[in-house]
Structure 1
Amino acid sequence: MIINHNLMANNALRNMNINSNNASKAMEKLSSGLRINRAGDDAAGLAISEKMRGQINGLNQASSNAQDSISLIQTAEGALNETHSILQRMRTLAVQSSNDTNTSTDRTSIQSEINQLTSEVNRIANTTEFNTKKLLNGDLQGVSDFQNAIQKSDSTFANGNVKISNATAGLSAFSSTDVVRVNFIKTVDSSGANLAGVVSTSGVSISTVLGNINVANVKISANKILISNGTHTLTLNVVAGDKVRSGDSITISLQSIQAAQTDSSKQVRAQIGANAGQELGIGISDMSSKALGLQKTDGTALDVTTQSHASGAVTLINNAIEKVSTERSKLGAFQNRLEHTINNLGTSSENLTSAESRIRDVDMASEMSDYSKNNILSQAAQAMLAQANQQPQQVLQLLR
């Protein structure tokens, strides 16, 4: 027996400290609800957990971003709804003015309302904002997919007797949308004549609605209608054998595509993912009167003060309505896509949160069992330490 070193007491003390330390860690986990409270608890698990937390926070913010983007789209689409209403009213006025029962005074009143409605379309385009960002003035048209659009000329014949084929050349040189009306006042003979018999504009009245194309630059020769913008000439072919008579008319709508936009900075970049580059570009076209083809290049509104101009204006307003419809449809598609994106982000965030929870969160039942075990072991070690401290006193029995 020795008395300088109480090895049994040292052993009991060491085990008691271990058990007390384990009980302390278990209590910390139970009180925080986390399995990892410091890097030492699980170094690898901590790194994985923090990476997942970054993804979860990014997904949640991306969902919020998508909701903000939907609000922006709804603001723009709501404004275009009113633009649609204005265009429908303008079309009604143009149809009204096309009727020759109206006097010049009547048409002047109609023109006055057309002018005001045109100004209101411009005001909506220039003042519609979301968080001070203008939406409909062309600042956000950004990258567009007009590169693959087909330029064309639509033609209608009043009595359905003549058909005009697509332009053979030159349409791409026209930068503005316009309507040209060709009215045949007389024909070569009473039986009717095709355009081959009309070698000039004699017997033909020609008018344009917006005036971007000069009437003097519209010619008829053989089976062709030649329209010039001063630099290039557009050739329209009339189907051979078709005939025209006095009172017949052809309305030609020149629809030129917009130049492709390649400036990606001029659009709304919606961050719809947790990582860099996970973006959605939202472009909103210019919805001003000039962009819709309702104004001349000098800013003058559609002219409906004559029957021919008013009739041609109907076509232009139809084109504008179609353009606004296309834009609203595009915005609706963006909104539907973003709604699906929000659902996907929510699912991803939920699943990542579940995975991160398995790494980071403590199993309360299991940890409570460990705490109880360590607490009992600590008490047992303390009791054994007391017994070990009593052991050297047995030496006194030998000293009697």
Structure 2
Amino acid sequence: MPKIASAMPLELLNQVGFNKKKRDKFMKNVASGMKIQDASDDASGYQISERMRVQLRSLEQATRNTQNGSSLLKVASGGIQTVVENLKTMKELALRSSNGIYTDSDRLAMEKEFKSCQDSIDTTAETTTFNSKLLLDGTYRNQDLRAVDAVVAPKIIKGSIGAANAGEYTISQDGIYEVDAGFTGTIKIDATNVQLKGSTSSNLANINIECEQEGMNLSLSNVFITNDSSHKNNILKFTGIGNSLTISGTCGFQYNALSNNASLNIGQELEITNHGSLTVKNLGLGFGAAIGTNSNQTAKRLTIVGGTLNAGSYSSGAAIGAGSGGGVDTINLLNVKIDEVATNGASAAIGCGVGTSKFSNITLSGCSGKVDTLVFKGDFGQNEAGTGFLGRTSVFDSSVLFNSKMMDTTILNPLKLQTGVRADGQMSTYMNQLDCDSLGVDVLSVTTDQKAKIAMKRLDSSLDYALHESTRIGAYIDRLDYTEANNTTEYENVTNSESTIRDADMAKEMVSYTKYQVLSQASQTMLAQANQQRSSILTLLQ
């Protein structure tokens, strides 16, 4: 039987298919510009390339996030600059009003502009927004408090107050006065910068100290006064706004009278700087606070900074805050070691007294120690009568011992900007509240020479506070600029790496395409030639 079959045409057919497949692959690479179309082209290269593509898309979004975050912070920075400009104007008006050449009518005109600046600051704090987010209302605060106004202690020794002065003694000049144990009665202070030093022999008794002027700077050194039930006035009483109390050594007040009065009456505003230990008790079963207000008296602000604090109330008033029916708008404790703050009634340890309609905004920052029956918003403690827990706000950033149980009260609420491609690539930003109350300028006025002097001192610390916020926001913006630049550089380098893995070398791909195009044509020609040779056998049968 004749053998006419041959393997050559089959081999040529396989070669034609191989060359065509290669030609089509390189043609596809040239057309798409990529040498890896799917995992079948290069399994490991495809996986690496896809992971890089995920990184690239993440970097693109992170860069957009950074740009949006920078825009938000620039809006906040603009709002802060508006506040700073208003504070500058207020400082200028206070300086002008303190000049003796102006009449009361002139100062009333200045007061109108002064109040307009205050309104502008509040409006700025209430309306500075980005994408419906309020930026300067304290939502993203970090518990920074405005610095306590600087106080220069008196250095001139004026004399001593002893038994021979019993009854009523008036201090009309700035200076240092020593109070002997034999003195009983009332010390009226009609000066602005006075230091009282206690006797080293024994504690003082049955003494009332009355500060007659606003803007009083009073320093106490080792003054501890205990009053019996016959002395029903405040042991220490301040008047109006802009007052400061500096504590050195061991100081305290113990009030034992049944009355409506607080042991330490803060007036409208008091800032206590404690370099030692302060103990204040109201044990009279009355209606005033220990540190704060009389019954039915309202005040704007109480700030206590540093030192060891022990405050207690056996009355219907708070240990720190308002007397019965009264109120203190803002209570700030900064870096205070709390030995004990307690009440044995229905009032709050820190906050409001019984029957009050005023609620306190309370901030504890860097504090530690023991607080008993502390009621801020109804979250801690059980007493609700008279505490006015509804509607109040409170901020903590320390671990405080509540009712003998340690509780972590760290509540920070930063605005977090996602600037990286990882879950932990967030930047926490803080923007403190910048309304008049937070700046401490809500109670200021320039209607008199004395009020203008108080305003000047307060505005210096308020400007420092606002400028500190401006600096913080500026630093955030700089950081975002660096982050954006870093993301852009990373994007460029990852793009180059991904391109090296996945993108086609067009010259090389065209050479390969041309090669297999020629081979494909040649193999087809050879296949046709082979088939022609096989068909020639038929000529033998003719």
Q: Under a length normalisation based on structure 2, what TM-score does the superposition of the two structures give? A: 0.57
1:129-179 deviations in whole A, cap 9, x for unaligned? 1122111111222xx375xx997663136xx7459xxxxxxxxxxxxxxxx
3-state SS in 2 of match to 1:154 = coil
The aligned counterpart of 1:280 is 427
Match of residue 258 from structure 2: none
Change in Cα spacing, 1:219 to 1:73, as seen in structure 2 (3 Å) is: closer
2:172 to 177, 182, 185: 185
Match in the other structure for 1:312: 454
Q: 2:187 aligns with which of 183, 201, 208?
A: 201
Is 1:15 the equivalent of 2:15? yes
Matches for 1:205-216 after TM superposition, within 5 Å: 205=191, 206=211, 207-209=213-215, 215=238
Q: Give the corresponding residue for 2:26.
A: 26
Residue pair 2:238, 2:265 contacting (<8 A) in 1 also: no
Q: Which structure: greater strand fraction? A: 2
Structure 2 residue ranges without an equivalent (≥5):
158-169, 192-210, 217-235, 254-263, 276-302, 306-331, 335-362, 366-395, 398-409
Aligned to 1:357: 499
Closer/same/farther in 2, CA of residues 203 and 42 from structure 1, 3 Å limit: closer
CA separation in 2, counterparts of 1:293 and 1:343? 39
> 1:388: how far off?
1.1
Structure 1 distance, partners of 2:146, 2:82, is 29
**Deviation for aligned residue 1:26:** 0.6
What's the CA shift for 1:103? Answer: 2.8
Q: In structure 2, what is the equivalent of residue 298 of structure 1?
A: none
Show the counterpart of 2:405.
Answer: none
Could you say what secondary structure the match of 2:482 adopts? helix
Aligned twin of 2:3: 2
Matched, 1:117 2:140: no
**Which residue is equivalent to 1:67?**
67
Contact 1:226 1:234 in 2 (8 A): no
Classify 1:351/1:83 alpha carbon distance in 2 versus 1 (closer, same or farther; 3 Å): same
**Taking structure 1 as reference, are residues 184 and 220 closer, same or farther at Cα in structure 2, changes over 3 Å only?**
farther
Assess if the C-alpha contact under 8 Å between 1:6 and 1:389 holds in 2: no
With over 3 angstroms needed to count, the CA separation of the structure-2 counterparts of 1:111 and 1:391, relative to structure 1, is same
Distance 2:100 2:171 in 1: 18
1:154 equivalent in structure 2:
150
Amino acid at match of 2:433: D
Aligned partner of 1:289 in structure 2 is 436
**CA distance in 2 between partners of 1:224 and 1:381 (Å):** 107
Conservation of the 8 A alpha-carbon contact between 1:303 and 1:313: yes
| Contact 1:226/1:236, CA 8 A, preserved across alignment | no
Taking the aligned partners of 2:79 and 2:453, their CA distance within structure 1 comes to: 28
Task: Give the whole-Å Cα distance in 1 for the aligned partners of 2:252 and 2:450.
Answer: 20
Q: List per-residue Cα deviations over 1:28-53 (Å, max 9, x = no partner).
A: 01000011122211222222111111
Report SS of the residue matched to 1:201: strand
Q: 2:418 aligns with which of 265, 271, 279?
A: 271
Structure 1 counterpart SS, 2:187: coil
Structure 2 CA distance for partners of 1:102 and 1:375, relative to 1, 3 Å: same
Report the number of matched residues.
346
Which AA in structure 1 matches 2:533?
Answer: Q
The alpha carbon displacement at 1:346 in A equals 0.5
| 1:186 to partner: Cα distance | 4.4
Q: Which has the higher contact order (CA 8 A, sep 6+)?
A: 1
CA contact (8 A) 1:219 1:225 kept: no
Task: Check whether the contact 2:171–2:187 (CA below 8 A) recurs between aligned residues.
Answer: no
Q: Contact (CA 8 Å) 1:39, 1:46: kept in 2 or not?
A: yes
**Residue from 342, 355, 359 that aligns with 2:484:** 342
Aligned to 1:392: 534
Once the two structures are overlaid, the 10-residue window that deviates more, 132-141 or 215-224, is: 215-224
Deviation at 1:263, TM superposition (A): 4.0
**What secondary structure is seen at the aligned counterpart in 1 of 2:437?**
coil
8 Å CA contact 2:146–2:461 kept in 1: the answer is no
Counterpart contact for 1:226–1:235, Cα < 8 Å: no
Q: Mark the runs of 5 or more structure 1 residues left unpaired by the alignment.
A: 164-182, 188-192, 238-252, 296-300
Q: Report % sequence identity.
A: 30
Q: Which residue of structure 1 aligns with residue 463 of structure 2?
A: 321
Distance 1:350 1:378, change over 3 A: same
Shift of 1:357: 0.6
1:173 maps to none
Aligned-residue offset at 1:376: 1.1
